[in-house]
Amino acid sequence: MAVSLCINDELRTYLGDPRVSLLEVLRETFRLTGTKDVCGQGFCGACTVHIDGEAVPACLRPIGLLEGAKVTTIEGLSPLGSQTALQAALLKHDVVQCGMCFPGLVMSLSKFIEQNGPATRQDLQVAMAGNLCRCTGYENIVGAVMTMFEGEEVPR
Ligand code: FES
Ligand code: FES
């Protein structure tokens, strides 16, 4: 089966089994390995991408259902060599440890902030609810993101 979709503003065509997940196609066919494969079952959020304007786990979307879809991955979130304000805040406050969760986390948070504007701590906790992080601790991440809105100190 052929599936044509727009990935990071480029038209791409996948040829193969339509039951394969978008996650596998991104990583194995198009070599967009910034999207992480951790649980493969929709539990961890590491594979979160934007599909038609919503943040969703790529492991739960069969490629065969995505004809004509617009997909943005972490590689397409900002031009090569640049960072979004969100990425800059997370890096500046050094809250990334192993990094496996971060591409998905950034995709979830960036979509939430784009749709809702300045957030509260509680908002961010809701926005991150589907993203598991085993290393950094959620409070540090929330604190770093809040500096975008309040300039407050990052809790340690
Ligand atoms: S790899 Fe998709 S939710 Fe965990
Ligand atoms: S930084 Fe390691 S899982 Fe989040």
The SS3 assignment for 51 reads: strand
- Ligand nearest the Cα atom of residue 102: 2
Report the residue among 136, 141, 142 best suited for mutation to probe ligand 2: largest number of ligand atoms under 8 A from its CB.
Answer: 136
Q: What are phi and psi of 133, to 5 degrees?
A: -125, 125
The pTM of the whole model exceeds 0.85: yes
Question: What is the pLDDT at residue 4?
Answer: 98
| Ligand 2 within 6 A of CB of 44 | no
Calculate the average pLDDT of the chain.
94
Instruction: Say yes or no to pLDDT of 3 above 80.
Output: yes
- Ligand nearest the Cα atom of residue 130: 1
Cβ contact 145:119 at 8 Å: yes
Distance between CA atoms of residues 22 and 116, nearest Å: 26
What's the distance, Cα to Cα, between the start and end of the chain in Å?
Answer: 51
Could you give the domains of the chain? 2-76 (3.10.20.30), 85-150 (1.10.150.120)
Question: What confidence tens digit (pLDDT) does each residue in 111-141 have?
Answer: 999 999 999 999 999 999 999 999 988 999 9
Question: What confidence tens digit (pLDDT) does each residue in 53-93 have?
Answer: 999 999 999 999 999 999 999 999 998 889 999 999 999 99
* Confidence band, pLDDT 50/70/90 cuts, at residue 150: confident
Distance 101 CA to ligand 1 centre (A): 10
* Confidence band, pLDDT 50/70/90 cuts, at residue 156: very low
**pLDDT above 90 covers what percent of the chain?**
92
Q: Which atom of ligand 1 is nearest to the CA of 39?
A: 4
- Ligand nearest the Cα atom of residue 136: 2
Instruction: Say yes or no to pLDDT of 149 above 60.
Output: yes
Distance between CA atoms of residues 56 and 130, nearest Å: 10
Kindly state the average pLDDT of the residues 1-27.
Answer: 98
**Taking Cα atoms as reference points, which of 33, 29, 57, 35 lies closest to residue 45?**
57
Distance 36 CA to ligand 1 centre (A): 8
Rg (CA), the chain: 16
Question: What is the pLDDT at residue 15?
Answer: 98
Q: Which residues of 14-43 are buried (b: 16+ CB within 10 A; e: fewer)?
A: beeeeebbbbbbbbeebebebbbbbeeeee
Q: Which atom of ligand 1 is nearest to the CA of 42?
A: 3
| Ligand 2 within 6 A of CB of 95 | no
For strands 70-72 and 2-7, give the pairing.
parallel
